[in-house]
Structure 1
Amino acid sequence: MNLELEKKIIGSYLTDSHLFNLHPASETWFHDYKHKEIIKAMHILKGRFSDVSELLAAIKQENPKTLVTETNLEMLSFDSTYAKDFRTAMSVLEHDYLENRVIQATLKYNENPTEKNKQLVKDRIREQEEQETPYDKGDIKPVAEEFVWELHNEKEDDSVKTFERLDKMLGGGMTGGMLVTIGARPGIGKTAFGVNMAIKALEQNENIQIDFMTFEMTKKQMLSRFLARLGDINSMKFRNPHRYLKSDEKQTVEKNLNDIKLTGLRIHDKLRSINEVSKQIRRRHYAAEGKPYICFIDYLGLVQPTNDNQPRHVQVAEITRELKLLTNELNIPVVLFSQLNRGIEGRQDKTPNLSDLRESGAVEQDSNVVAFLYEDKEDDSIVNLGIAKNREGMVGKIEYSFIKSKMYFEELEKE
């Protein structure tokens, strides 16, 4: 049940009634009975009403004892989504309705496991899957409406910001539809770089929701990386914080723990397969209700495919393709970390290139951006981020100072 989202959708219809004909909602999607009556009346009027009094008259014609008042409708008209978020809001509302139908059908089957009830569960799941991957008729009207809105309104910058120079090279930050793959050999600092990116995102993007999915650490181990970076504390001390942390460091850790609990950061250490990853991304994105969202996945090599019997290159292709489709469908960025082939260690020039990505064909094809972390040849305190592929902007190299003990990355000024 999401009453606030219901109000925003109805408010959008009241503010701009032609939206109803472009994106009509079903009354069954709404939980609040007054909201159901409003949507039902809109269907009767086919979205054609000049003001709230005309809509109220249609509501009363259907139900003379309705509790909907003109004041209700006027208040709802002030509560709407941005035009560019409207389709997402509609999708979330329908998804919640269909998910509830799956739950109810499952409960019914558990109470009475007949073949009929089993088939009902299958039908409800199929409905939900069809909504998540809707048939596209190629209609350009919805996109045209977005363009019309942007012609007359200042477009909000919805890109996710992290490091300043990286943002510039990505055309202003990470935007919806972007799959960013960052490869590195073990020990270079790809997890630490992900931690720094996530912290930068928290600092620079109001109300951002972040999923950090770790496949080789526990939630506690990953959280200690965040605390080391936030508190400028040697990460080794977190192995026995009571013994090794000084009194002032303990106070810093407690403060940072309280602060980070209030952010949109969530750490996942129990996910295993691409199906579980996909479901969590959808669930969190829907719950975000229009707030900025980004997901970090550490790392590709440990994500399980749906079919373990396929050759590894086919498995990798399935994983990266699913992630790329999710970025497009949900209009979100995803950062995927990956290990590089061992062959790089045997080369005199250890600067990575695209062929060093494990199963590089699918990863390179599906990624909007491919970058590599590698140590500087002349200064081992510097780690380079080399952007080798970039559909969104420039390719090139960014230098970072990396203090490994404190999980700290800092961009260096370009000379």
Structure 2
Amino acid sequence: MNGIELRIVETLLNKPELIDSTYINIDWFTEIKLRNIVEAMQGLDLQERTLLNIFTEMNNDGSVEYRNIVDLQSGFVTSASFENDVKSLHKLYAQRVLETSMEIYKQYPKKQELANLSEAIAELSKIDEAEDDGKLEEAIEELQDRIASGKPVGIKSFEKLDNLLAGGLYGSMLFTIGARPSVGKTAYAVNLAYQIMNKDPEVQVDFFTLEMNKREMLSRFISRSANVDSQKLKNPANDLDLIFSKMVTAGIDWVRTHKIRIYDRVLTLGGILSVIKKNAAKAKPDKYVAIIDYIGLVKVNGRQDRWLQVGKITRELKIIANEYNIPVIALAQLNRGVESRQNKEPMLSDLRESGSIEQDSNVVAFLYRPDDENRELVKLSIRKNREGSLGDISYYFEGKYMYFKENEDEQ
């Protein structure tokens, strides 16, 4: 058996808590038996990770017997090399991917194969980067350059939102937007992405949609960019007029010429983190944003209480925002209690399932309708903001066009 893979599994069987604090992709393993053991452990809560439960949980073809797992646990010596072993495992996997990509490119020197090869090189380079030494020199130089050049801070979106965020979306930011269903949180996220890419077409946006499919989300972006009725896109008639068809074509062209990626099959926390790591590693500074719609639908390994799972989700999203110096926008649902109050303005305590959302987020904002009679008025209320100001922004919202506009008459 592969020595590195063996040591990792021996360590995990003796210290199962490491599964929760270390990112390990089962695809990194070449030994099927060892991969199956790790996958089984990831599917169990910490207190459930007994040898018998792991054996029962395994998708076993009969090649692994219970005594094999007992033997692996008894082979444990020390966990001193665990972090280096995981890094080495990841690096070996990245090297295999690179070698495969090179062979494929030699045979088929096409654009897509070249992109895959570049991606594999970037992934391997990222693993080899020096670890954080705690020194501040690089951050000091960046600050001095920014002051000297007067370069604006952050990725721009809506003007008033940028002002409250002290310049825009910034690296290491976890920005959580909470709302009740049917208020328009997905439409607002579409508008944020639209504003970001319109103001800087070089910015890449990864949009993880866990509630809708790719086709539905594409229709929303076309509706917003081309100002066409989203309902007509959902059920197009045979007799659509030429003007409408031209507008839709313009919307499709907008999507094609901007760097938006939509994921509708990446449903797990591990999958989302993997995609963000891969794409953020290749992006230039201040040229990448990830949007998750929404936290409550993200799947997590194990059978913990949901509030513990949500805590893990927000913690990992914050860690990856820090690690890659990128802004991450996460949507969240609010408790039903806000609907029964006379004052409809949400509070931080209305965040559903976990207080960790408030704790881990740099910015927490709520999207709500202050007046049920006026469906076109929607407010964004920023109630936590580590780097900027608290405040409210009023929007005019026209649902069928997926259109949010800041009200000009409010300061």
Give 5+ residue unaligned stretches, structure 1.
Answer: 1-93, 108-126
Distance 1:100 1:224, change over 3 A: same
Change (3 A) 1:172 1:290: closer
Letter in 2 for 1:185: R
Q: Secondary structure at the match of 1:284?
A: helix
Relative to structure 2, which stretch is displaced further, 171-180 or 246-255?
A: 246-255
* 1:204–1:358 distance in 2 versus 1, CA, 3 Å: same
**Highest CA radius of gyration, 1 or 2?**
1
SS at match of 2:238: helix
Q: Per-residue deviation at 1:227?
A: 1.1
CA distance in 1, matches of 2:180, 2:291: 18
Give the alignment's Cα RMSD to 1 decimal: 2.9
- 8 Å Cα contact 1:208-1:293 kept in structure 2: yes
Aligned to 2:342: 348
1:148 Cα shift?
Answer: 5.9
| Aligned partner (choices 173, 183, 189) of residue 168 of structure 2 | 173
SS in 2 for 1:310: coil
Judged with a 3 Å threshold, the aligned counterparts in structure 2 of structure 1 residues 232 and 143 are, in CA distance, closer, same or farther, namely: closer
Q: CA deviation at 1:259?
A: 2.6
SS at match of 1:253: helix
Secondary structure, in 3 states, of the residue corresponding to 1:400?
strand
Q: Is the 8 A contact 2:94 2:124 kept in 1?
A: no
The TM-score, its normalising length taken from structure 1, stands at 0.67
CA deviation map 1:91-117 (0-9, x unaligned) = xxx99976632436999xxxxxxxxxx
Q: Which residue of the partner structure matches residue 231 of structure 1?
A: 226
1:319 aligns with 2:310: no
Check conservation: 2:366, 2:380, Cα contact below 8 A.
Answer: yes
Give the superposition deviation at 1:283.
Answer: 1.1
Which residue is equivalent to 2:333? Answer: 339
1:129, CA displacement in angstroms? Answer: 12
Question: Secondary structure of 2:366's match?
Answer: strand
Determine the structure 2 residue equivalent to 1:139: 135
Q: Per the alignment, do residues 234 and 146 of structure 1 end up closer, same or farther by CA in structure 2, a change over 3 Å counting?
A: closer
Q: For residues 195 and 97 of structure 1, do their structure 2 counterparts lie closer, same or farther at Cα, with a shift above 3 Å needed?
A: same
Q: Which amino acid aligns with 2:325?
A: N
Q: Tell me how far 1:262 sits from its aligned partner.
A: 1.7
| Residue 158 of structure 1: how far off its partner (Å) | 4.8
SS of the residue corresponding to residue 336 of structure 1 reads strand
1:202-221 equivalences in 2 (<5 Å): 202-221=197-216
- Aligned residue for 1:294, secondary structure, equals strand
Is 1:295 aligned with 2:290? yes
1:400 pairs, out of 378, 395, 398, with: 395
Instruction: Give secondary structure in 1 for the equivalent of 2:292.
Output: strand
Q: 8 Å contact 1:158–1:292 — kept in the other structure? A: no
Q: CA offsets, 1:291-321, max 9 Å, x none? A: 61111110011011132x1111110010001
Aligned pairs for 1:78-157 (under 5 A) are 100-103=94-97, 131=127, 135-146=131-142, 153-154=148-149, 156-157=151-152
Q: Secondary structure at the match of 2:389?
A: coil
What is the one-letter code of the residue matched to 2:232? Answer: K
Residue 163 (structure 1) aligned to one of 158, 168, 181:
158
Supply the AA of the counterpart residue of 2:178: G
Distance 1:289 1:98 in 2: 26
How many residues are aligned here?
301
Alignment identity in percent? 42
The one-character-per-residue Cα deviations of 1:340-383 (angstroms, maximum 9, x if unpaired) are 01121222222110000012410000001101111122633200
Determine whether 1:386 maps to 2:381.
yes
TM-score, normalisation: structure 2:
0.67
| Aligned twin of 1:42 | none
Greater shift in the superposed pair: 176-185 or 201-210: 201-210
Confirm or deny: 8 A CA contact 2:228 2:247 kept in the other structure: no
Structure 1 residue 370 and structure 2 residue 369: aligned? no
Instruction: Assess, with a 3 A threshold, how the Cα gap between structure 1 residues 106 and 230 changes in structure 2: closer, same or farther.
Output: closer
* SS of structure 2 residue aligned to 1:341: coil
Secondary structure at the counterpart of residue 103 of structure 1: helix
1:410 and 2:405 equivalent? yes
Distance in 1 separating the partners of 2:124 and 2:306: 30
